[in-house]
């Protein structure tokens, strides 16, 4: 763990108990966030990105439940479990109560921005009203001081005529402006960490560009950390420092953004990158990922991606891949959960039917486990 | 396609659709009372002209509210155009009644954005795919079934899916069903309204590939509506960029992406995040919001946000072209350096948007300081222009933001050629041979 | 399943429940209250249907064939010895458990000495028919008007909805009186009650379906059908009505109970079924004068009405839950 780490998530599992079965929306994920960086969580719909981030704020609602794992923010335990002698997990004593979460963490330490600003703003109150109340609540300011602060924040995020707009209702703002209001709200209490859950997905590109610029500026000014949830590899490349790629409730690859794009290790990340059309050059043929994402109720055994993976072999069906450190240098911390990089028999096993044409040439010879220092890997000998 | 340029009409270039000066206005309020009182119109599409050639994919891109969907629906006569003509295979659709158009719909089908709402949940897939054939009385029932099943296989589903209900399918599979339905009557033209924007990237690629294969096999023409420039770059042959009801630029794909001429197209291309962390993108983004289509800016509709708004006082505009108020406000000369003009423009827009605060500055001198510090650090205009700035600063010091806005806009924006005349120019392409249409006065003198 | 995944990722496939009627039926079956309602309706309906088949019963209830009572058959099943002799037509007999009652007329007899149980059972026929037909009339008229108004909008919508509002402003009773007076020349009959109640419910049905159609009309599959060249008539029939029908169906089940009640009330006032045809409302009418002497005479038809309407309401509630996308069990 790094010194500057402000949030660490370790072995988090969040499950939903539905009538069809247990949805393992987030199933054993670990990542951390350091001071002043933007950490991306990227994946397709159904990957569990949003569940992961709402778990951090303990905003998971029935029938969902955080069933295991540890979330530590600075020195406070947001989620933590002790194992009893009979094997059941009970919440730790030092875990924050719901009241403490509300008063100490949400809003003033960690803020969240959602994809749909219309759902986050109450349509019957003015924007100013909501902003002011939020500031009064979280920053202990009196009415007029809170109002002034609110107007300042609105101006800061680029709302024109902030004094006049303060009294407007949410529906009188355009989509981009509403998202700015939400960012203003998140910023108003000077949080240390902002979780942005697809905040630009519903916006037009030029507006998205404005918001991304705004976020970069604000981050520079205040050194706020971000967790940026998105499905857009472009946005990831644009603003993230480090990236976690999620597939079906698991993180399959994590590392610095440059390595994720230029030294891609996991076949899913690679496939995802190849299936994105490029705005900057004309591609003749896209390589889609075959099939659709399986259900999180009954995920495939072994590696969850093996049913669609172009590189899948027999062993992928059996072995549950562990995180393997594939860093080129000691300080990059590039990890991936693919048994190609683990010594558990991938290379000796037979390719699966759908994956007959395999191109594994992009994996360097020295990356193959038989050629690597085995002490680094966590698999069975 | 090598020597198609300028030659006698090559069959591939034959237009399937010709649109001339087409407009579509909506009444901004509906209902009985509003129709009596009369209401201002929303100019969703205003005087656009273009054609779609046989077998090509023409992409219509733009941001939400730019009128691309309305335009496409007006072409298909799903919304009747307010003005102008639309010819489909030589026949003027705007002259025909709904009843007369119905048989022609066999040749123009449609694919939708939302895979959930585009299929009737109470019908089986087979019934859905067969519906267009049934509507046009094509084939007998057995042949329809056979055809539907064959189409399902063609789009990458299975013949047995004929008997299933839509809710049993994922988003990507539903878009395939949509495709099968659209192709069932063997149409000439298919209008695709953001067909992949509701899908995940990996699935999007699957659907786009199927669309390409079908186009190759059936030789169909696509009118492809999208807000996603990346997708457009993958599928289109030619691209039309729309802004607030106007087509601002239309060119062949390579030309448009590599040699964009309209400032809006450039801004649009610049704001797309590129999936490559090593491309450090300036994200040179636009300021402000799209103006209301109820009372759109005169001339070039992009001028209120354009980073290249042309300095007034150039010789292109005759004073008689301006309305009285503007002519009165216009200065006799606008002499200043380009940098100074940029500053004036930024200041005008900042005042319009009230994007800066005057905190404690209440005397003209104090306001002048704030303004100078913020907008005129490097270059400042002199003479008459500066006098106008002074007057605006006095208004600001009195808290008269609206007055200052009016003054600045009538002096610096309205007399510009961008506000006085609607631009339409054709320039030479650098990539490929086709025409490059660009609606921007920066190209005046370079074409017509 | 798709919804579960969608919800988890914050992306939803839209509020439209992607379910078929079969799914709805499964849900109703799984809901005990709705199931109970369904049983009541089924029993009431079969009584109504079978009572019409038995000619003897029919005649007995009319008072034409006094020797026959349904009471003859009930004790026989338990104890053949207790078979009573044919009785004279004796008015105002008390029910079997009261003093002076007999198994021959388990619920007693009415003012003309007719067997009360037979009349209650036979009355189900009239009530159920009235409920179904009045509702069917309102539903058909309402759905047609509402669907057309909602689908086309504009001027057509304005004209149709103003027309519906005019109907809405006339009370059902006035409509019934108008029909009775102007169509039959003043001879009241249950058919006019049905007509009046049916027409009076058209506005509610048309409003319900219209509001649904307004949202269904915006669905892409409607535009897809239009773009494909499907005729408006077929679009309304195949796409608009089936997808707007759910709330109407819920309302219709509730409305059947309500129509039974209204027609019972009209019969009570003398505008419904005419003697000697037995009808619950009309029976109440005759009974209310006897309230102090023979209270049972008022109670039996009341109980019959109560149970039937409760059955429809319970079923309607269950159906509503089953069709509501927010309550998905």
Kindly write down the DSSP assignment for every residue of B196-262, as one continuous string.
TTTS-HHHHHHHHHHHHHHHHHH--EEEEEES-HHHHHHH-SEEEEEETTEEEEEEEHHHHHHS--S
Confidence grade of residue B36 (pLDDT, cut at 50, 70, 90): low
* pLDDT of residue B230 exceeding 60: yes
Q: Is C214 on the interface with B (CB under 8 A)?
A: no
Residue of C nearest to B192 (CA): C224
pLDDT of residue C5: 35
Q: Which residues of C touch A51 (CB under 8 A)?
A: 8-9
pLDDT of residue B221: 94
* pLDDT of residue B32 exceeding 60: no
Q: Which residues of C touch A48 (CB under 8 A)?
A: 8-9
Q: Give the start-to-end residue ranges of the domains of chain A.
A: 5-244, 278-292+300-376
DSSP class of C121: H
Q: Give the start-to-end residue ranges of the domains of chain C.
A: 31-60+123-323
Higher-scoring residue by pLDDT: C70, C122: C122
CB-based contact C223:B110 (threshold 8 Å): yes
3-state secondary structure of B16: strand
Highest mean pLDDT among A46-55, A158-167, A199-208, C261-270: A46-55
* pLDDT of residue A31 exceeding 50: yes
Q: Where are the alpha helices (DSSP H) in A6-76?
A: 49-56
Mean pLDDT computed over A107-117: 82
Write the CATH number for B65: 3.40.50.300
pLDDT of residue B12: 54
Highest mean pLDDT among A103-112, A176-185, C307-316: C307-316
The alpha-carbon gap from C1 to the nearest alpha carbon of chain B, in Å, equals 9
What tokens appear for C31 in the block?
């809901």
Give the CA dihedral B153, B159, B161, B164, nearest 10 degrees.
Answer: 140
Q: Which residues of A touch C30 (CB under 8 A)?
A: none
pLDDT of residue B3: 40
Of C36, C40, C41, nearest to C318 by C-alpha is C36
* pLDDT of residue A229 exceeding 90: yes
CB contact under 8 A, A25 and C8: yes
**Which listed CATH number (3.40.430.10, 3.30.70.141, 3.40.50.1820, 3.40.50.300) goes with A5-244?**
3.40.50.300
Pair (B232, B323) in one structural domain: no
pLDDT of residue A211: 82
Confidence grade of residue B448 (pLDDT, cut at 50, 70, 90): very low
In tens, the pLDDT along B379-429 reads 778 778 888 888 888 888 888 888 888 888 888 888 888 888 888 888 888
Q: Is B110 on the interface with C (CB under 8 A)?
A: yes
A-C C-beta contacts closer than 8 Å: 38
What tokens appear for A111 in the block?
């803020």
How many CB atoms are located within 10 Å of the residue A28 CB? 17
CB contact under 8 A, A295 and C5: yes
Confidence grade of residue B61 (pLDDT, cut at 50, 70, 90): very high
Q: What topology does CATH give the domain C31-60+123-323? A: MetI-like fold (1.10.3720)
Peptide bond into A63 cis (omega under 30): yes
Of B75, B89, B162, B173, nearest to B124 by C-alpha is B162
In tens, the pLDDT along B164-217 reads 888 888 888 899 999 999 999 999 999 999 888 888 888 888 899 999 999 999
CB-based contact A226:A39 (threshold 8 Å): yes
In whole angstroms, give the CA distance from residue B214 to residue B152: 12
Provide the total of helices (H) and of strands (E) in chain B, helices listed first: 16, 12
Q: Which residues of B touch C19 (CB under 8 A)?
A: 121, 167
In degrees, rounded to 5, the angle at the alpha carbon of residue B328 between the alpha carbons of residues B327 and B330 is 65
Mean pLDDT computed over A170-183: 83
CB contact under 8 A, B233 and A277: yes
CB-based contact A302:A352 (threshold 8 Å): no
* pLDDT of residue A300 exceeding 70: yes
Residue B256 within any structural domain of the chain: no
Q: Which residues of A touch C329 (CB under 8 A)?
A: 19
What tokens appear for B151 in the block?
């189409």
Higher-scoring residue by pLDDT: B445, A89: A89
* pLDDT of residue C9 exceeding 50: no
pLDDT of residue C202: 92
* pLDDT of residue B13 exceeding 70: no
Mean pLDDT computed over A177-206: 84
Option in B112, B121, B185 nearest C224 (CB): B112
In whole angstroms, give the CA distance from residue A26 to residue A14: 5
pLDDT of residue C6: 34
The alpha-carbon gap from A203 to the nearest alpha carbon of chain B, in Å, equals 9
Pair (B198, B105) in one structural domain: yes
* pLDDT of residue B29 exceeding 90: no
Bridge partners of A73?
A7, A76
Q: Which residues of C touch A (CB under 8 A)?
A: 1, 4-6, 8-11, 329
* pLDDT of residue A270 exceeding 70: yes
CB contact under 8 A, B135 and C16: no
CB-based contact C97:C155 (threshold 8 Å): no
In tens, the pLDDT along C137-150 reads 999 999 999 999 99
pLDDT of residue B30: 58
Option in A44, A213, A285 nearest B202 (CB): A44
Q: Is B116 on the interface with C (CB under 8 A)?
A: yes
* pLDDT of residue A362 exceeding 50: no
In whole angstroms, give the CA distance from residue A254 to residue A266: 10
In whole angstroms, give the CA distance from residue A222 to residue A192: 9
pLDDT of residue A354: 65
Q: Is B35 on the interface with C (CB under 8 A)?
A: no
- The CA-atom distances, in angstroms, between C106 and each of B28, C284, C295 are 71, 18, 15
In whole angstroms, give the CA distance from residue B190 to residue B109: 5
Residue of B nearest to C241 (CA): B122
pLDDT of residue A227: 93
Which 47-66 residues of chain A touch chain C by CB within 8 A?
47-51
What DSSP letter does each residue of A276-331 carry, written as one string?
Answer: SPPSSS--S---PPSS-PPPSSSPPSSSTTTTT-TT-BHHHHH--PPPEE--SSTT
Mean pLDDT of chain B: 84
CA-only gyration radius of chain A, Å: 22
CB-based contact B300:B440 (threshold 8 Å): yes
* pLDDT of residue B340 exceeding 80: yes
pLDDT of residue A205: 83
In degrees, rounded to 5, the angle at the alpha carbon of residue B399 between the alpha carbons of residues B398 and B402 is 115
Of C208, C319, C313, nearest to C261 by C-alpha is C313
Mean pLDDT computed over C95-121: 76
Mean pLDDT of chain A: 83
* pLDDT of residue C74 exceeding 70: no
Phi, psi torsion values for B223, nearest 5 degrees: -105, 110
Q: Is C239 on the interface with B (CB under 8 A)?
A: yes
Higher-scoring residue by pLDDT: A65, B359: A65
Pair (B231, B99) in one structural domain: yes
Which residue in A13, A44, A50 has the most chain C C-beta atoms within 10 A of its own C-beta, making it the best mutation to test that interface? A50
CB contact under 8 A, A209 and B283: yes
* pLDDT of residue A6 exceeding 80: yes
Residue B2 within any structural domain of the chain: no
Mean pLDDT computed over A284-307: 85
Q: Which residues of C touch B170 (CB under 8 A)?
A: 2
Distant-in-sequence, close-in-space partners of B197: CB < 8 Å, separation ≥ 6: B113, B226, B227, B228, B231
* pLDDT of residue C8 exceeding 60: no
Residue B280 within any structural domain of the chain: no
In whole angstroms, give the CA distance from residue A269 to residue A261: 8
Q: Which residues of B touch C228 (CB under 8 A)?
A: 105, 109-110, 131-132, 135, 181, 185
Pair (B42, B170) in one structural domain: yes
pLDDT of residue A375: 40
Which residue in B283, B307, B351 has the most chain A C-beta atoms within 10 A of its own C-beta, making it the best mutation to test that interface? B283
pLDDT of residue A154: 86
Mean pLDDT computed over B107-127: 89
With contact defined as 3+ CB pairs under 8 Å, the chains touching C are A, B
With contact defined as 3+ CB pairs under 8 Å, the chains touching A are B, C
Residues shown for chain C: 329
Range of the domain at B323: 319-415
Confidence grade of residue B28 (pLDDT, cut at 50, 70, 90): low
When mean pLDDT is compared across A91-105, A238-252, B315-329, B353-367, the lowest value belongs to B315-329
Mean pLDDT computed over A254-265: 91
* pLDDT of residue C328 exceeding 80: no
pLDDT of residue C144: 92
The alpha-carbon gap from B147 to the nearest alpha carbon of chain A, in Å, equals 24
Confidence grade of residue B4 (pLDDT, cut at 50, 70, 90): very low
Q: Is A115 on the interface with C (CB under 8 A)?
A: yes
Residue of B nearest to A216 (CA): B283
Option in A209, A277, A290 nearest B234 (CB): A277
When mean pLDDT is compared across A268-272, B386-390, C324-328, the lowest value belongs to C324-328
């Amino acid at each position: 763990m790094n010194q500057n780490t402000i949030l660490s998530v370790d072995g988090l599992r969040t499950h939903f108990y539905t009538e069809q079965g247990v949805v393992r929306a987030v199933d054993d994920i670990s990542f951390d966030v350091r001071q002043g960086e933007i950490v991306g969580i990227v994946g397709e719909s159904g990957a569990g990105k949003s569940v992961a981030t709402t778990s951090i704020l303990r905003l998971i609602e029935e029938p969902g439940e955080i069933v295991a794992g540890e979330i530590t923010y600075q020195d406070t335990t947001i989620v933590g479990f002790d194992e009893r002698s009979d094997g059941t997990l009970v919440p730790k004593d030092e875990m924050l109560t719901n009241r403490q979460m509300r008063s100490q963490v949400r809003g003033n330490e960690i803020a969240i921005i959602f994809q749909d600003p219309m759902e986050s703003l109450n349509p019957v109150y003015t924007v100013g009203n909501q902003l002011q109340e939020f500031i009064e609540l979280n920053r202990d300011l009196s009415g007029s001081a809170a109002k002034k602060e609110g107007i300042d924040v609105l101006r800061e995020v680029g709302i024109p005529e902030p004094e006049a707009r303060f009294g407007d209702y949410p529906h009188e703002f355009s989509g981009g402006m509403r998202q700015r209001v939400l960012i203003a709200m998140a910023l108003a209490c000077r949080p240390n960490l902002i979780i942005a859950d697809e905040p630009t997905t519903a916006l037009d590109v030029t507006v998205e560009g404005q918001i991304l610029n705004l976020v970069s500026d604000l981050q520079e000014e205040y050194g706020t950390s971000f967790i940026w949830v998105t499905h857009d590899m472009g946005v990831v490349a644009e603003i993230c420092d480090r990236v976690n790629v999620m597939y079906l409730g698991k993180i399959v690859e994590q590392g610095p953004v440059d390595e994720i794009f230029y030294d891609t290790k996991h076949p899913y990340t690679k496939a995802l990158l190849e299936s994105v059309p490029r705005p900057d050059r004309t591609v003749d043929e896209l390589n889609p990922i075959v099939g659709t994402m399986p259900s999180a109720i009954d995920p495939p055994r072994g590696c969850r991606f093996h049913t669609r993976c172009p590189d899948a072999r027999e062993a992928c069906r059996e072995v549950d891949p562990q995180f393997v450190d594939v860093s080129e240098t000691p300080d990059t911390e590039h990890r991936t959960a693919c048994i190609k990089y683990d010594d558990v028999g991938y290379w000796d096993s037979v390719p699966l039917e759908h994956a007959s044409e395999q191109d594994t040439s992009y994996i360097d010879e020295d990356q193959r486990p038989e050629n690597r220092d085995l002490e680094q890997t966590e698999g069975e000998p | 396609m090598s020597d198609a340029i300028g030659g006698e009409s090559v069959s591939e270039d034959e237009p399937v659709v010709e649109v001339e000066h087409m407009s579509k206005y909506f009444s901004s309020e509906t209902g009985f009372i509003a129709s009596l009182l009369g209401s201002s119109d929303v100019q969703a599409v205003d005087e656009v002209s273009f054609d779609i050639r046989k077998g090509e994919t023409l992409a219509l891109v733009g941001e939400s509210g730019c009128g691309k969907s309305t335009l496409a629906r007006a072409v298909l006569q799903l919304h009747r155009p307010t003005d102008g003509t639309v010819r489909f295979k030589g026949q003027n659709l705007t002259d025909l009644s709904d009843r007369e158009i119905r048989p022609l719909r066999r040749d123009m089908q449609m694919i939708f954005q939302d895979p959930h709402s585009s299929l009737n949940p109470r019908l089986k897939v087979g019934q859905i795919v067969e519906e267009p054939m049934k509507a046009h009385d094509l084939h007998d029932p057995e042949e329809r079934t056979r055809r539907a099943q064959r189409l399902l296989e063609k789009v990458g589903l299975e013949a047995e899916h004929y008997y299933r209900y839509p809710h049993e399918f994922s988003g990507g599979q539903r878009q395939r069903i949509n495709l099968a339905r659209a192709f069932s009557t063997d149409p000439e033209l298919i209008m695709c309204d953001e067909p992949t924007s509701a899908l995940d990237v990996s699935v999007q690629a699957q659907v786009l590939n199927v669309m390409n294969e079908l186009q190759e096999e059936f030789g169909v023409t696509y009118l492809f509506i999208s807000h996603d420039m990346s997708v457009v770059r993958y599928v289109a042959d030619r691209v039309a960029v729309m802004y607030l009801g106007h087509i601002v630029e239309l060119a062949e794909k390579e030309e448009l992406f590599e040699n964009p001429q309209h400032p809006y197209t450039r801004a649009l291309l610049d704001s797309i995040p590129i999936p490559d962390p090593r491309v450090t993108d300036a994200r040179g983004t636009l300021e402000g919001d799209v103006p209301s289509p109820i009372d759109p800016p005169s001339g070039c509709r992009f001028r209120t946000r354009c980073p290249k708004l042309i300095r007034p006082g150039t010789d292109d505009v005759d004073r008689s072209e301006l309305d009285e108020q503007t002519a009165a406000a216009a200065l006799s000369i606008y002499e200043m350096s380009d940098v100074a003009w940029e500053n004036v423009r930024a200041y005008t827009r900042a005042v319009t948007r009230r994007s800066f605060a005057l905190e404690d500055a209440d005397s003209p001198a104090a306001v002048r300081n704030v303004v100078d510090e913020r907008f005129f650090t490097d270059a400042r205009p002199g003479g008459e222009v500066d006098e106008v700035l002074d007057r605006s600063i006095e208004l600001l010091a009195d808290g008269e933001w609206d007055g200052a806005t009016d003054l600045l806009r009538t002096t610096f924006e309205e007399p510009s050629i961008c506000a006085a005349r609607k631009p339409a120019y054709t320039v030479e392409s650098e990539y490929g041979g086709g025409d490059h249409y660009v609606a921007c006065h920066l190209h005046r003198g370079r074409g017509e | 399943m798709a919804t579960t995944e969608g919800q988890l990722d914050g992306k939803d496939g839209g509020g439209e429940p992607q379910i078929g009627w079969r799914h709805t039926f499964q849900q109703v079956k799984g809901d005990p209250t709705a199931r109970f309602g369904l049983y009541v309706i089924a029993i009431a309906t079969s009584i109504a249907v079978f009572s019409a088949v038995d000619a003897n019963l029919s005649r007995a209830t009319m008072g034409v064939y006094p020797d026959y009572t349904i009471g003859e058959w009930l004790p026989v099943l338990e104890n053949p010895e207790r078979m009573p002799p044919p009785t004279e037509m004796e008015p105002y007999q008390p029910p079997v458990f009261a003093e002076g009652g007999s198994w021959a007329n388990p619920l007693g007899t009415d003012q003309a000495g007719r067997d009360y149980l037979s009349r209650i059972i036979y009355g189900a026929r009239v009530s159920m028919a009235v409920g179904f037909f009045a509702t069917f009339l309102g539903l058909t008229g309402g759905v047609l008007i509402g669907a057309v108004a909602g689908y086309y909008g504009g001027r057509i919508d304005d004209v149709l909805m103003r027309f519906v509002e005019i109907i809405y402003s006339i009370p059902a009773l006035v409509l019934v009186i108008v029909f009775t007076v102007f169509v039959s020349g003043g001879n009241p009959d249950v058919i006019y009650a049905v007509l009046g109640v049916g027409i009076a419910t058209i506005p509610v049905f048309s409003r319900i379906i219209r509001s649904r159609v307004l949202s269904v009309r915006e669905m892409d599959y409607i535009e897809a059908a239009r773009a494909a060249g499907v005729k408006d008539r077929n679009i309304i029939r195949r796409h608009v009505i089936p997808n707007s029908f759910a709330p109407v169906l819920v309302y219709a089940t509730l409305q059947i109970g309500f129509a039974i009640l209204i027609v019972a009330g009209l019969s009570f006032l003398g505008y419904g079924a005419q003697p000697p045809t037995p009808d619950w409302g009309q029976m109440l009418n005759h009974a209310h004068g006897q309230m102090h002497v023979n209270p049972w005479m008022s109670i039996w038809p009341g109980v019959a009405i109560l149970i039937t309407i409760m059955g429809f309401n319970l079923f309607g509630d269950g159906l509503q839950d089953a069709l509501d996308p927010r309550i998905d069990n």
